Amino acid sequence: MSYRNRELANLLVVGVITGFGFASVYIARQDVISASSLSYGIFFLCLYAVAHVVTRFTVPNADPYILPLGGLLTAVGVTEIYRINPQDALRQSIWIVIGLLAFTGTLVLLRRDYRVLETYKYICGLGAVGLLVMPALPGLGQRVNGARLWIHVGGLQIQPGEFAKLLLIVFLAGYLREKREVLAQGRLKDLGPLLLIWGAAMLVLLETSDLGSALLYFGIFLAVTYVATGRGLYVGGGLAMFAAGATAVYKWGPSRVHQRVDAWLDPWHYVHTIGYQTAQGLYSIANGQFGGTGLGKGTFADTAGNVLIPDLKTDMIFSALAQELGLIGISAFLLVYMVFALRGFRIAMIAEDGFSKLLAVGLTFGFAFQTFIIVGGILRLIPLTGITLPFVSYGGSSIVANFVVLAGLLLVSDRAQVRTA
Amino acid sequence: MNDRIRRIAVVGVALLAALIVGSTYWQTWAEGELSARRDNAIQLVAQFKIDRGDIHAGALVLAQNRVVKTRGQTFYFRTYPHKKLAADIVGYSTQGRSRAGIERSLNDYLTSSNSDLHTLLTRIANSFEGATVRGNSVWLTLVPGAQYLAQQALGSECGAAVALDVKTGKVLVMATSPTYDPNLVEHHFDQIGKTQAHCAGPAPLINRATAGLYVPGSSFKLVTAAAALESGQFTPSSPFFDPGYCIEFGKHVNNFALESGGPEQFGNVTLAQGLQHSINSVFCNVGKKLGATKILDQAKKFGFYSTPNLETPPEEQRTSGLYNCDKHGRCRLFFPQHDYQVDPGRLAFGQERLQVTPLQMAMVAAAIGNGGVVMHPYVVDKITKPGGGVLQTTKPKALGRAISPQTASELTTMMESVVTGGTGTAAQIPGVRVAGKTGTGETSIPGVNQAWFVCFAPADNPRIAVAVTLENQLHKTGGEVAAPIAKSILEALLKQPTA
C-alpha cells in the first residue's frame, strides 16, 4: 500500500474514533446538549479529507502516520473542550480550520525545497525575539494569570510565543548546521550569535514571566546543540547554567517563581491559595481511577455549575481527560504522543542533510518536551507552568503553530523518502 | 549524527514514559489517599454522583437517597425519613458539613469504594459501561421499636441508654439525648444549635452513649466487687461493719446521705449486702485492702483504657478510665504507676477521677451476664451488595475473659438482690429475674447527681444488658430515675424473639 493510501486508512480509523468520542459525550450529556454535537464527527471527517488531499499533491512520499496522529489528538482535544463548554469547541474548530490553512500554505509554499529557510536563519532568529517582545510592548500586550503572553489584533487574541518557537528552531537548525564542525572543535566565539539570540529570547521570557516557554526553549536549545556538535560539555555546561539560573530566579526572581516551586513541593499546605490548582488537578486525575468516569461523566463543576479547576480547558485539560478516560485511556493518549515523537525522530534519522535533521529534531523534541512540561507539571513531576498541551489545549495560536510543525515534519520526511527510495 | 538523534529520542520518549508512570501513581497508588482528603473539591461533588447505599435498621430505612437532576448531572443527596431515630449513630452526609456517624466511617462501603474484590470489579465494570456507581447498603443491629422507646424515655433529659445482646455484643439500642434531625444539617444547621435540654451543654451532635464521659458512681461497684471476688480475699459473705463512714488517710468518707440528713448506717453486713444497698463504706474498705491498681486492672479486663472500636468514627468514641485534668480543663487518660497516686477508697465506689461511657458500663453488665467473657460491641450487622446478596456479615468476637464463671454467677446473685430488695427495685419485671446495679455519681456541684442503672436479664439465662445514665439530676438517684427507663428497654427487647 502506498504511503498516502496508508494515511487515508489511518485517517478513516481516526474518524471513527472521533465519531465515537462525540457520540459518548452526547449520550452522557443529552440533557444539556443537542444532537448537533454529532455533526462534529462529520466536520472532522471533512477536515481530514481536505488535509489528506493536500498531502497527496504536495508531499506524496511523506510519513503516513503523523497526520492521523495529529488529527486524533486534535479530535480528542475538541471533544473534551466540547464536553466542558460547547461554545468554546465551536471557536476551537474555527481555529483548527485556520490551522489547516496554515498547514496547506506551508506545504504548498515549501513543497519544492524547504531548505531555502536556511538562507533566512538570522531573520528567523531576530523574528523570534521580535515576536516574543510584542506582548511586553505597552498597548499591544495583555497580561493573563500573571504572564504577558498575548497580543490583541483586531479582536483576536494571539500568543506570538507559539510562533517564535518555530522561528527559533529554524534559526538553531540553520546556524548549527553551518557552525557545527567548528563548535564541535570547541571554537567558542562561534557560540556568540547563538547565545545572543537565545539569550535575548530567555530574557524576554523571564521578563514576561513565561516560565514554561523559557524551560521549553532551553530544552530545545540543548537537544539541537547536542545533536549538532556531539559535545556533552555543552549539555553539561547548559545544565549547570540552568541550575544556577533557576536557583538565582528562585531566590531573587519574581515571587511568582517562588510560589510555583512552593506549590509544587507541597500543594496541600497551600491548598486554598497557590496550591489550589495543582491539588484540584490531581484530585481530578485521581477521581478517574483505572477505568475513568467516561466521556461526559467526569466531575469538573460543583452542583451550581462553577468550574472547580482553574484553566481547565487550556493548561489543565490533561486533568480533565485523565478523569474521564481513566488510567487506561490516558495511557493510550500519552502513547499517541510517544508514537508521534518516535515518528518525528525517525524522520530526523532518515533525513539526508544536516539542516533537515536538526530541523526535525528541534520540532520533534520541542513537541515531546512541551508535552512533558505541561503534563509533568500537572502530575507534579516538575513545578506547574502555564503552557499548552500540543494539539489538545484550547487556544488558537497553539493549534495553528502545531499544524505548521506537522507540515514541517511532513516536508522533511517527504524529501528523505524520495532520496532513500 | 544519527547516534545522537537516537539518544535524544531516548530522552524524549523517556520523558513521555515518565508521564504514564506519573498518571499510574496518582490514579491507582495514591487514589485512595487523595479521595479521602477533606479539601478535595472534586470528590465533594463526585461523591454525590454515586447512588449511595441505604442504611437500614430492622424493617426501617434510616438513610436513603433523594435524586436531583441539574445541568445534565444526576446527584444523589441524602434524606433521613425517620429523622431523629438513631441519628447520632447513622450520622449525616452533606456537602457543606462533610459527614458524621456511620455515613462517615463506612463511606467507603456506602460509595462502593471499599477495597473488597467484588465491589472493585463491579465498580470497574460499571465505569466501563458508563453506568452510575451504586453503593453497598449497611444494616444496623439496632432494634427500631426499642430504639424509639428508649429515645422517648430519655425525653428532654440529657443522657444515654445502651442495650447489648449479652451473648454476641450486638448493640440493640443506642439512644442519646438530646439528639438531632440529620435532615437539618445541610441547610438549617442553626436550628440544631438551638436545641434545648435539661443540662448546661445540650450538644445534640455528640453521641453520649460512646463519647459522653461521666462519673460512674456506685455502678462502678460492680467492677470493684468483681476485683474483690477474683482476688480470693473476699466472698459474697465476707463480713463488714458499717458505721456510716469509712476512715481513709485519717479522714471520714461518708455513705450516701439520707434526705433526712446524715449518712445511712447499716451496722453488720456482708459484701453482698454492701452491693445490695450500695454501701460506700463497705467498698471503701474493699478498695483500701485491694489497692487502686488491682481495681483498675480489673476495669481494664472489662474494656476500660481501650476504645470500644465500634463501627462509628473513632473520633466519636471515648475511652473510659481515670482522667487527669490540668487547670485549662484539658483532660488526659491516666493509669497510676503507684497505688498512692489514686485514692482507692473513693475509686472503689466510682468517684475519684473516674470517667466512663454508657457503652462501657453496658459492656460490664453484659460481661457478667455472659459468664465473664467480654464481647466486642458492634452496631453493623451486615453489608449488602447493590443488586442484593450479602457482602459481609459481622461475626461476634470475644475480647477476653474479665472474670471467672464462678465470680460471674456470684455477682449475678448479688445484682439480683439489688432489684429484689435493694436500691434498684424500680427495675422489677413480673416473671423475669432482673440483675442490676444503681449508681448515683456526685458531680462537682453538690446535690446535682449523675444517675445510673446498669442491668441484664433474665438473670437465669441472660440475653439483654442495658446501661442508662442521666445527667444533671437534682437530688435524684439512679434507682429512682434511671432504673425505670432501663426496665422499659429490657421489657421491649425481651419481647423480641431473636434478640
Question: Strand B137-140 vs strand B55-57: parallel, antiparallel, or unpaired?
Answer: parallel
Query: Chain A, 205-244: which have a CB under 8 Å from a chain B CB?
Result: 223, 226-228, 230
From the number of C-beta atoms within 10 Å of its C-beta (0-12, 13-18, 19+), residue B67 rates as exposed
CA B394 to CA B389: how far, in whole Å? 15
Residue B35 forms part of a structural domain: no
Q: Give the model's confidence band at A25: pLDDT under 50 very low, under 70 low, under 90 confident, else very high.
A: confident
Q: What is the pLDDT of residue A27?
A: 81
Interface test with B, best of A27, A269, A316, A379 (most B CBs within 10 A): A379
Q: Please tell me whether residue A301 adopts helix, strand or coil conformation.
A: strand
Lowest mean pLDDT among A45-59, A346-360, A401-415, B125-139: B125-139
Beta bridge partners of A147: A144
- The alpha-carbon gap from A383 to the nearest alpha carbon of chain B, in Å, equals 14
Q: What is the pLDDT of residue B300?
A: 96
Is there a contact between A290 and B28 if contact means CB atoms under 8 Å apart?
yes
CA B219 to CA B452: how far, in whole Å? 7
Q: Say if CB A321 and CB A312 are below 8 A apart.
A: no
Q: Which helix (H) or strand (E) holds A250?
A: helix A232-252
Residues B296 and B445 in one domain: yes
Residues of chain A in contact with residue B22, where contact means CB-CB under 8 angstroms, are: 375-376, 379-381
Residues B135 and B153 in one domain: no
B81 phi-psi bin (left φ>0, alpha ψ -120 to 50, beta other): alpha
Residue B357 forms part of a structural domain: yes
CA B278 to CA B24: how far, in whole Å? 66
Task: List the single residue in B with minimal CA-CA distance to A270.
Answer: B39
Residues of chain B in contact with residue A368, where contact means CB-CB under 8 angstroms, are: 12-13, 15-16
Supply A122's cell numbers.
538570522
CA B1 to CA A196: how far, in whole Å? 25
Q: Nearest-CA neighbor of A277 among A317, A246, A224?
A: A317
Question: Which of B108, B125, B140 is the last residue before a domain boundary?
Answer: B140
Residue B381 corresponds to which amino acid? D
b/e map B234-269, b = 16+ CB within 10 Å:
bebebebebebbbebeeeebebbeeeeeebbebeeb
**Is 50 exceeded by the pLDDT of residue A45?**
yes
Q: Give the model's confidence band at A350: pLDDT under 50 very low, under 70 low, under 90 confident, else very high.
A: very high
Residues of chain B in contact with residue A371, where contact means CB-CB under 8 angstroms, are: 16, 19
Residues of chain B in contact with residue A330, where contact means CB-CB under 8 angstroms, are: 23, 27
Query: Chain A, 241-300: which have a CB under 8 Å from a chain B CB?
Result: 268, 271-272, 279-280, 282-294, 297, 299-300
Residues of chain B in contact with residue A327, where contact means CB-CB under 8 angstroms, are: 23-24, 27-28
- Residue with more model confidence, B370 or A156: B370
- For residue B115, the Cα-to-chain-centroid distance in whole angstroms is 27
Give A330-393 as a DSSP string. Answer: HHHHHHHHHHHHHHHHHHHHH--SHHHHHHHHHHHHHHHHHHHHHHHHHTTSS-----PPTTTS
Is there a contact between B41 and A308 if contact means CB atoms under 8 Å apart?
yes
Q: What angle do CA A206, A308, A31 make, to 5 degrees?
A: 130
Residues of chain B in contact with residue A270, where contact means CB-CB under 8 angstroms, are: none
Overall pTM > 0.80: no
Is there a contact between A283 and B35 if contact means CB atoms under 8 Å apart?
yes
Task: List the single residue in B with minimal CA-CA distance to A273.
Answer: B39
Supply A50's cell numbers.
481536505
Task: List the single residue in B with minimal CA-CA distance to A337.
Answer: B16
Residues B166 and B90 in one domain: no
Q: Is the dihedral of CA A271, A276, A281, A287 positive or negative?
A: positive
| Domain at B120, CATH number | 3.90.1310.10
**Closest partner residue to A349 among B2, B34, B40, by Cβ?**
B2
**Is 70 exceeded by the pLDDT of residue A142?**
no
Q: What is the pLDDT of residue B115?
A: 67
Residues A122-134 have a mean pLDDT of 89
Residues B252 and B319 in one domain: yes
Query: Chain A, 379-408: which have a CB under 8 Å from a chain B CB?
Result: 379-381
Q: Nearest-CA neighbor of A122 among A163, A165, A170, A160?
A: A170
Q: What percent of chain A has pLDDT over 70?
A: 95
**Closest partner residue to A368 among B15, B39, B49, by Cβ?**
B15
Supply B302's cell numbers.
472489662
Q: Which helix (H) or strand (E) holds B268?
A: strand B267-270
Q: Say if CB A230 and CB B7 are below 8 A apart.
A: no
| Domain at B453, CATH number | 3.40.710.10
Residue B23 forms part of a structural domain: no
B347 phi-psi bin (left φ>0, alpha ψ -120 to 50, beta other): alpha
Residues B119 and B169 in one domain: no
Residue B33 forms part of a structural domain: no
Enumerate residues 6+ apart whose C-beta is below 8 A from A77: A92, A317, A389, A391, A392, A393, A394
Residues B61 and B132 in one domain: yes
Residues B150 and B135 in one domain: no
Is there a contact between B22 and A33 if contact means CB atoms under 8 Å apart?
no
Q: What is the pLDDT of residue B499?
A: 45
Q: Nearest-CA neighbor of B137 among B406, B395, B393?
A: B393
Residues B127 and B176 in one domain: no
Enumerate residues 6+ apart whose C-beta is below 8 A from A92: A77, A78, A81, A394, A396, A399
Count of domains observed in chain B: 2
Residues of chain B in contact with residue A30, where contact means CB-CB under 8 angstroms, are: 72
Residues B76 and B107 in one domain: yes
pLDDT digit string (tens) for chain B, length 499 residues: 889 999 999 999 999 999 999 999 999 999 888 887 878 888 888 888 889 999 999 999 999 999 998 877 788 999 999 999 999 999 999 987 788 999 999 998 998 877 677 777 777 777 666 677 889 999 999 999 999 999 999 999 999 999 999 999 999 999 999 999 999 998 888 888 888 888 888 899 999 999 999 999 999 999 999 999 999 999 999 999 998 888 887 777 888 776 666 677 888 999 999 999 999 999 999 999 999 999 999 999 999 999 999 999 999 999 999 999 888 888 899 999 888 888 988 899 998 889 999 999 999 999 999 999 999 999 999 999 988 889 999 999 999 999 999 999 999 999 999 999 999 999 999 999 999 999 998 888 888 899 999 999 999 999 999 999 999 998 889 999 999 999 999 999 998 875 4
Residue whose grid cell is 451488595: B385
Residues B318 and B366 in one domain: yes
Q: Say if CB B145 and CB B492 are below 8 A apart.
A: yes
Q: Nearest-CA neighbor of B255 among B342, B346, B344?
A: B346
Residues B489 and B456 in one domain: yes
Residue B252 forms part of a structural domain: yes
Residues B125 and B156 in one domain: no
Supply A247's cell numbers.
536557583
- The alpha-carbon gap from B186 to the nearest alpha carbon of chain A, in Å, equals 14
- CA separation (Å) from B14 to A26, A243, A365, A371, B24? 36, 21, 12, 12, 15
- The alpha-carbon gap from A132 to the nearest alpha carbon of chain B, in Å, equals 25
Residue B36 forms part of a structural domain: no
Residues of chain B in contact with residue A353, where contact means CB-CB under 8 angstroms, are: none
Residue B245 forms part of a structural domain: yes
Question: Which of B75, B109, B140 is the last residue before a domain boundary?
Answer: B140
- The alpha-carbon gap from A345 to the nearest alpha carbon of chain B, in Å, equals 6
Residue whose grid cell is 438549617: B188
Give B59-100 as a DSSP string. Answer: TEEEEEEEEEEETTEEEEEEE-TTTTTTHHHH-EE-STT-EE
Residues of chain B in contact with residue A300, where contact means CB-CB under 8 angstroms, are: 42
Task: List the single residue in A with minimal CA-CA distance to B130.
Answer: A294
CA A176 to CA A234: how far, in whole Å? 13
Residue B391 forms part of a structural domain: no
- Interface ipTM: 0.94
Is there a contact between B8 and A323 if contact means CB atoms under 8 Å apart?
no
CA B375 to CA B168: how far, in whole Å? 6
Domain span at residue B56 reads 42-140
